[in-house]
Amino acid sequence: MNGAHDLGGQMGFGPVAPERDEPVFHAEWEKRALGVTLAAGGMGHWTIDESRHARESLHPAVYYSASYYEIWIRALENLLERRGFVTADERAAGKALGSGTNPKRVLAADEVAATLARGGPCDREVPTPARFKAGDRVRAKNNHPQGHTRLPRYARGHVGTVEAVRGGFVLPDSNAHGQGESPEWLYTVVFSAAELWGESADPALTVSVDAWESYLEPA
């Protein structure tokens, strides 16, 4: 979707503000926000792609005014409500008011280390051969899907070169919407800055994205 999250090349946000010796967390609630988000994800009722889509689906005014962990929490609230775990009334009351959906599982404290160390690999076999190979010229399709996608707007319609075939990976566009993993070949595609940003672009700059096969067409 063309959401507020798709930031590449947007202007007006001002300078980057690196912080000397910044802490990992800036408030106690940020720690809990991280932990609660990962623990709730451990129930296994949504994928990382659906949770990313929940974040990018926030209203732009909310997205741009919220800190990152606030974005996480607001998206988590929406996911929990969507799945019937926590209602808006309960959030307003600050306590459980009913039973709600039963979880598939609950992440226990003694499982945390192994669960985090395992992660969630998303490489998958793709039964068909890769359509493109390193060196091929490809165009990123000029598509504007309503749902989740991982092709940034700034790359759409532009021609680049396949640098590497990375293997088969779960397709976020379908996986975010409960439509299956539909794994596809994934490619690193390199664009010149002039192709992306025009004649005045930095001549010594190239930018790459990792693009699923259905994002690309021969150029």
Chain center to CA of 189: 18
At a CB cut-off of 8 Å and minimum separation 6, what does 115 contact? 42, 107
User: What type of residue sits at position 35?
Assistant: G
The one among 2, 60, 84, 108 contacting another protein by CB under 8 A = 108
Which of 25, 142, 144, 145 is in the footprint of another protein by CB under 8 A?
25
Which residues, 54 to 73, sit near another protein by CB under 8 A? 55-56, 64, 67-70, 73
87 touches 58 (CB < 8 A) = no
Give the per-residue contact string, 181-200, with another protein (x = CB under 8 A; - = no): -----x-x-x--x--xx---
- Does 130 help bind another protein (rule: CB under 8 A)? no
Binding of another protein at residue 109 (CB under 8 A)? yes
d(CA 133, CA 151): 19
Local structure of residue 178 (DSSP, 8 states): T
Asked if residue 84 binds another protein (CB under 8 A), the reply is no
Q: Are strands 137-140 and 159-169 parallel, antiparallel or unpaired?
A: antiparallel
Tokens of 84: 């019937």
For 90, the token pair is 């309960």
**Count, residues near another protein per rule CB under 8 A:** 95
Q: Does 154 bind another protein (CB under 8 A)?
A: yes
Residues 114 and 141: their CA atoms lie apart, in Å, by 40
Identified binder of another protein from the candidate list 18, 127, 129, 135, rule CB under 8 A: 18
C-alpha neighbours within 13 Å on the C-beta side of residue 44:
9
Q: How many CB atoms lie within 10 A of CB 177?
A: 14
Nearer to another protein, 31 or 133 (CB): 31
Closest CA to 108 of 153, 43, 57: 43
Under rule CB under 8 A, residue 116 binds another protein: yes
Shortest distance in whole angstroms from residue 19 CB to another protein: 7
Residues 36-55 that bind another protein (CB under 8 A): 36, 38-40, 42-43, 52, 55
The reply on whether position 158 binds another protein by CB under 8 A is no
Among 2, 60, 111, 137, binds another protein (CB under 8 A): 111
- Report the relative pairing of strands 216-218 and 137-140 from DSSP bridges: antiparallel
Could you say which of 61, 94, 128, 146 contacts another protein (CB under 8 A)? 94
Structure tokens at 41: 């994800």
Region binding another protein by CB under 8 A among candidate stretches 128-136, 173-181, 207-215? 207-215
Candidates 78-86, 130-138, 175-183: pick the segment binding another protein (CB under 8 A). Answer: 78-86
